[in-house]
Structure 1
């Protein structure tokens, strides 16, 4: 049972912990995945935004420089004098100084220029101003009028920087290209200038792209993640592995068109895509100039910390399972130990073993301040009450056996006395019959009285002897009846004591019944308590299942207690039935004793009457002896005397027969008493056998 309960407790706790661990671990992994992925997305987005903003700083400055130059031109030019060559030359010098100042304030600008539209200046001459920064000399120079009218051709690709912004009526950024003079990558920004919706010219600036390129190429994300730069038409500008001839929208048969749609809809975001044969997280940021700074990194690198977290959670779950198993074993032993002790104790009592061997564990249970402690105390109280009851029954059953033995001896003595009395009465009856025969012979030989006087004297002498013997037997009969009466009185007292003991035994058995009712009540309350615990554990849900198992075991223990108490109750009912039967037999024995006492009184009176009659006979015989010599003279008197003697003897014979009949009835009554004693003795032996089944030492 112990192993079964421990197995259930350990299994329940471990299963519950595993379920909780799976739920918590699963939720933790899901939440960790979401958090880590969210953090990774935020991190990538921050990197992309940071790099995009950093990348946008210099282009923004260059746009501001171009914008300042455009505003300065619009604010300073006198349209009425643009056809004046002297004015334009002077104006160019002033603008050149401004451009030099602007260029020197922005060290990243390598070229700053303004080309006035030939139509705006009259179409006869060209005016253009150019500032360039010499890296060798570390200074800037301003040059004027480097273009001719022949250079301004719309179809000329070399002049696309001039006509493209005019066509779109907005500033444009060029793709990076190699400056042939400096042999470096540069990027250009050109914007048209309009005054009252009339084209004034195109302002532009070139800046080194090397630092921006290094900014992109030197960006490292996780282990193998990298940054790249796309143009506004999604062509690769800068990337470690993809050249500028590739466009994101046309790569792999237009596989990334959905990515382009998302880029168009959002300035910055993070997208999960399959790129270069593996899952990638693609973060992008649209820069100030419309170019896109992208960050791409393998998803497995981003979720590397997640894997570590998952391994940590799984390790914690395994450790928790081991710990919960150990804790469940300890808890199971602690819970099952009291149940095991209580079960062993109840099993021991069910086997009628009431000894107090190995009760230390039960004392530990009793010391508990809970239902198990109450149950242990009730079991110990039951053991003590049963022990006291069994000891009382055993003591009284021993006394009953002793009393029955005394009654058996008394009955045996009474039977012997009655046998002696019966024998004496039979002899007395025999003598009486002989006297009757002799008297009858005396009547028949009355005429021969003279000749037979000697025989008559002899007969009278014999009659005297017989009378003396009869008197002696009558005395013995009285003594026997007195002894029998004393024994019957003792038997009556013993029967009364036996009845009192049986009444006490009946009360004790009823007390045991009350104790059994109390135990049944405790078991039913324990069963009800287990039911309430099961209901509360079901309300508690998953966390209450371990307790539900414990509550179910307590209910089983309560049911087992009810079964055992029913068995004890059945044995107790058998004992009560035997006691009731003994009590009925004792009542019958009392009634029979009373009838025997009445018969003995009658018998005593009969013997007294016999003694009195015998005394009269003796007196008559003495008179006969005195008057024997007067027989011849008093023949008639002799005949009358003989008649009287015959009458008396007949009466004596009748009384003797009555006494014999009474003695036979007395003997039958004594035999009934003996039979009742034997039955009571059998019941006492049965009761003692039941008591012997209890172990109380």
Structure 2
């Protein structure tokens, strides 16, 4: 049951995350609450300040113009203005300075002396100068404009005599620099505060979670059926908070369950021991009844079988008497058949003797034919040799006639008659050669047939030899059969005598077997009643044994279930 908690589900992680979120949210809310206000107030204060500067120094200059009866020539001299306006501005804001333009828009004073005598570049001031020239009313006050990507504040004082304008200028970025610095410091403070909050959260969550972890371990031990005492629980019991109350409740549950488990274990042990005794007694009783039932069953089966066997024996004895009579009749028939078989065997023996004589004569004739075939084969060989010689002589004669023809041709007219004779000789030689070839072919076929005849004769001689052996074996077998038939006739005569004696004893055996059959039937009826009683007792003992087995299984199951608990 002890399962590791994932980090995202851990109470400690959640507490630390809560501290982080609360601290971060608080810091962000603080920054979001004071930063805009500070910016707004500082902007307003700075604008009022530069406006006051413009009003104050513009009023001073206006007073001097008034003293000069409206002549601003002396008042607007650069040296005189420099003595009055040098260093005027917001302390710490370098972009804040004062400059003065005349009624034509020419700068009569500027901290940067290089710009004195030049037309003013500020569009706001240019417009104000133009409005004054146009006779429009231009009020003194602060104006905001964008100059080359920078926001600037301009406090404008218009002379009562419209002889000059005094301008106090400042960059918004420098004016609000304290706010930016304060925001930066606030962010750093926020990060530090968040880190401190995280550390405090880790420590605080550890303090909170540690007893919860101990409590979880204690509960896991109980869930794994371990109800033994442990020092972890003792430390938790002394706590005065909810963890202590939970641990004390679990401890009460542990002690109560442990007591119940001990009691159940003791009772299950006693139950198992008693069930073993009952099971053993029931098994012995069942075994005894099984043996008794088997014995009674065997007796009943034996009695029934005996009754049936005696009844069957009676029937068999009666049947035996009938078969004895039939056997006597069949023995008489067998005697007749044996006599006939003896006569037939004698006839077969005589026929085999005649066959043996005929077979011997055939073998003699086959030997004569084989010798004649060999003689014919030898003669054919000699004829083949003579034909070969004739072929050689014919070829030589043909060659000689060819030579004679050539010589006759050379002799011309005188050799013509000789050439005719040579041609006839050549023709006769060719005919002789052809005849010799035909004779050789005939002799070859004759020799092949002769060889086949010799081979066939050898096979026939082998067949007749085997036939003679089979005839001898058959004759010996018929001699043995003849002897056995004679012995069978003698045995059947003895069987006939014994059968007649058996028929005389048959009546006494029938009476004895019938008495035994009546006794066996009475024994079978008694044993069947006894077997029924034993079967009923055995069924009761079997049921008791089954109940004992069931009780024993329940005891074992309870013992195994209790073994899970550790106390």
> Normalization by structure 2: what TM-score?
0.48
Q: Compare the two structures and name the one with the higher helix fraction.
A: 2
* Structure with larger RCO (C-alpha < 8 A, sep 6+): 2
Please say which structure displays the higher CA radius of gyration. Answer: 2
Q: Compare the two structures and name the one with the higher strand fraction.
A: 1
